Amino acid sequence: MSSTAALIVAAGRGERAGSGAPKQFREVAGRPLLRWSVDLLLRHKAIDTVQVVISPDQRAAYQAATRDLSLPPPIFGGAERRNSVRNGLEALSRQSPTYVLIHDAARPLATPALVDRVIGALRAGAEAAVPMIEVADTLKRRTGGGHWQTLPRDSLRRAQTPQGFLFDKILAGHQTHPNADVTDDMAIAELAGMRIAAVDGEESNLKVTKPEDFVIAERLLATGGSETRTGMGFDAHRFVAGDHVWLCGVKIAHAQSLEGHSDADAGLHALTDAILGALGAGDIGQHFPPTDERWRGARSSSFLAHAASLVRDARATIVHCDITLICEAPKIGPHRDAMRKRIAEILGLDMGRVSVKATTTEGMGFVGREEGLAAQAVATIRFA
Ligand code: MG
């Protein structure tokens, strides 16, 4: 059985990122920069161990950033990045992993798909696997005295992390070349003559280096730099004798009511299913079986609130939801904003992230015959 370790290098002082705490402990989109990489690698199913290398004077910041996680104690780094990596690799050698991914804490936007590609290339036989990006800008070299030279760029690539290696080979490489003036581990693999596979890097896998990079990283992490999923839901209920309906959490006076085990709020049921769908958490019938007496006459707002709590448990956030109510009557327009407001309240969202629309079926089908009404919903959820 092969095993894969991940080593996160976080011992730098981040001098170029401006004053204050070392950059890897500065908050970006609500978490210390380091934490984004730790979470990515710790949650990845193909990775067995995550080892972080820090500077000895960063112990307190490290504990604060990771206190709720079960991680091995940090390893202390050295003066240069290469010393830190070597210390980390030597600590990991006790577990003799097959592969190691070495990642810079300054890259909080690497994705699970990128990790998949690196590990995939190693498992396919590469000795090293490095995410690379083609160079789009034209490259210039200053030759002095106001003169410049244009460099051919076809064979040039930008290398990112995480970089993956056969563990024994990269450890031996670092031990054989302890003083090599390198800025990444692929350079050690090059010196060691290892076979290196290039995998597709990601433009968004920014290395946070300069103060303005924090602004870009914040924007990307806060607005979908992480994984986004969409779920859909559909529901229909039959009209029966009565004097009101519940739709999208709002009680509306009407010549009929909707039949159902709960309050028959098709709008909230469709939305609850959409959220469960985005989570991959089954459907509303599994969570609230109609055969269960507890849910007889239940308010559907409690179903939706439950779905929202599952989103929080998954450390995800609802980005947006959109509901279409399909009915001839009641008229939805006058209640639209009350519905949006109520849903936003239940989900703890800004009202701008909730949409309610309405349509008819032009007299066709069960909706057209006013036997009942239906609702569709889409929910978009971001996983940090
Ligand atoms: Mg229903």
Pair 134, 161 in one domain = yes
What is the average per-residue pLDDT within 304-316?
Answer: 88
Confidence of residue 108 (pLDDT cuts 50, 70, 90): very high
Looking at the 3D structure of the chain, how many domains does it have? 2
Least confident of 229-243, 249-263, 284-298: 284-298
Q: Give the pLDDT of residue 246.
A: 97
C-alpha 37 to ligand 1 mean position (Å): 41
Which pairs with CB-CB distance under 8 Å and at least 24 residues apart come from 251-254? 252/330, 252/335, 254/329, 254/330
Closest Cα to residue 163, out of 116, 205, 117, 128?
Answer: 128
Tell me, in angstroms, the distance from the centre of ligand 1 to residue 289's CA.
Answer: 11
Residue 271 CA to ligand 1 center (angstroms) comes to 10
| Whether residue 214 sits in one domain with residue 341 | no
Q: How confident is the model at residue 330 (pLDDT cuts 50, 70, 90)?
A: very high
Q: Ligand 1: distance of its center to the CA of 352 in Å?
A: 25
pLDDT of residue 21: 74
CA of 236 to the centre of ligand 1 (A): 6
* Domain co-membership, 202 together with 348: no
| Cα 319 to middle of ligand 1, angstroms | 23
SS3 call for 45: coil
Q: Kindly tell me if the per-residue pLDDT of 120 is higher than 60.
A: yes
pTM exceeds 0.85, yes or no: no
pLDDT band for position 29 (50/70/90)? confident
Q: Which domain holds residue 132?
A: 4-223
Residue 18 above 60 pLDDT?
Answer: no
CA–centroid distance, residue 281 to ligand 1 (Å): 17
Ligand 1 geometric centre to CA of 333 (Å): 22
Q: Are residues 52 and 185 in the same domain?
A: yes
Spacing, Cα 261 to ligand 1 middle (Å): 8
Q: Give dist(CA 322, CA 364) in Å, integer.
A: 24
Average pLDDT of the segment spanning 282-306: 91
CA of 300 to the centre of ligand 1 (A): 9
Summarize pLDDT for 221-245 with one digit per residue, the tens: 876 556 789 999 999 999 999 999 9
Structure confidence by residue, pLDDT tens digits, 155-199: 999 999 999 999 999 999 999 999 999 999 999 999 999 999 999
Asked if 172 and 283 sit in the same domain, the reply is no
Spacing, Cα 266 to ligand 1 middle (Å): 5
**Residue found by looking up tokens 């609702």 in the block:** 375
The CATH number covering residue 136 comes to 3.90.550.10
- What phi and psi, each to the nearest 5 degrees, are found at residue 280? 65, 35
Gap between the Cα atoms of 357 and 323, Å rounded: 6
Out of 190, 223, 256, a domain closes at: 223
Task: Check whether residue 287 and residue 378 sit in a common domain.
Answer: yes
227-241: strand order across its sheet: 256-258, 227-241, 372-383, 316-326, 354-359
Residue 360 pLDDT: 97
Query: Are both 202 and 346 inside the same structural domain?
Result: no
* pLDDT confidence band for 291 (50 / 70 / 90): confident
Last residue of a domain, one of 185, 203, 223: 223
Instruction: Find the 212 Cα to ligand 1 centroid distance in Å.
Output: 49
Dist. CA 358 → ligand 1 center (Å): 17
Per-residue pLDDT tens over the stretch 130-153: 999 999 899 999 999 999 999 999
Domain termination residue (choose one: 223, 251, 273): 223
* Gap from CA of 363 to ligand 1 centroid (Å): 22
